[in-house]
Amino acid sequence: MTLPVLLSIPHGGTRTPPELQDILRISNQDVFEDGDAYTVPIYDIGDAAAVVVKAEVARTFVDPNRSLQEMPPASPDGLVKSITCRNMPIYTVQPDEAMRRDLIAKYYMPYHRAIQRAVRGDLQLCLDCHSMAEVAPAISPDCGSRRPLFCLSNRRGQTSSNESMTLLASCIAESYGIPRTLVQLNDPFLGGHITRTYGNNPLPWIQVEMNRSMYISGEWFDHDTMECQQSRLRDLRLMFERALRAYFERI
């Protein structure tokens, strides 16, 4: 059965826009650490979901989960960033205004148009799917804090009902075999630009954050090659799909 859910995966892209290649000062590892690594193979359940929208370009360069007003220097972690989440300068020379407009037109606007086109009457839930560092990085308000295994957020009831989010939290805890207390609500995240913009407009939106310690650690991950065991990613994806099926069976 196809589930009536839209899955947005805005930070799983890995591609570097070719027009930026000559002004980069960061490495591939920096880009890897700045993004939500492996969130596409974890969250993309294919035809089991009614709609999946996913970014191809790395969030380091164009971030769909930022508003058009969030730009450096006022917002260094904005739509077209100047620093990574670890406070590393991205460019030798900052992209100029014309370049920013081009990046937005090519990579940002198509993502949001895809979401807007997909919103339709048969959908019942939309999820903005992310991963989070085990320990909050330098740029985060909770810098240095250890994160839960999951964080679900709805901007304290603004983008979905609290009942829906609590049910989803229970389904995730059961499917992944973890204590419900390790699925926190609206802490450390409230829900970003995508959740805030589209939530309850008209469909409910919930932001989902999975702790990267669930796959970028121990026996599952090779730090030299930055490769994760495919079997682990498959297992996490199957557990995610199982959690969603349990959710829709109970609503």
Q: What is the pLDDT of residues 179-236, one digit of tens each?
A: 999 999 999 999 999 999 999 999 999 999 999 999 999 899 999 999 999 999 999 9
Beta bridge partners of 195: none
Q: 160-185 burial, b if ≥16 CB within 10 A, otherwise e?
A: beeebbeebbbbbbebbebeeebbbb
| pLDDT over 90 (residue 138) | no
3 membership: H or E segment, kind and range: strand 3-9
Residue 181 tokens, joined? 């207390």
- CA angle at 175 for the pair 174 and 180, rounded to the nearest 5°: 35
Q: Is-contact 192 152, C-beta < 8 A? A: no
What is the pLDDT at residue 57? 99
pTM score > 0.75 for this model?
A: yes
Q: Which residue has the tokens 């992209």?
A: 95
Question: What is the average pLDDT value for the chain, to the nearest integer?
Answer: 97
* Assigned CATH topology for domain 3-16+32-55+115-250: Aminopeptidase (3.40.630)
What is the pLDDT at residue 114? 98
Q: How much of the chain exceeds pLDDT 70, in percent?
A: 100
Sign of the CA dihedral 53, 115, 200, 12?
A: positive
| 205-211 vs 221-222, strand pairing mode | unpaired
Q: Where are the domains of the chain?
A: 3-16+32-55+115-250
Q: What is the pLDDT of residues 86-132, one digit of tens each?
A: 999 999 999 999 999 999 999 999 999 999 999 878 999 999 999 99
What is the pLDDT at residue 41? 99
Nearest one of 243, 245, 241, 247 to 163, comparing CA atoms: 247
Name the H helices within 21-60.
Answer: 28-34, 39-43
| pLDDT over 80 (residue 141) | no
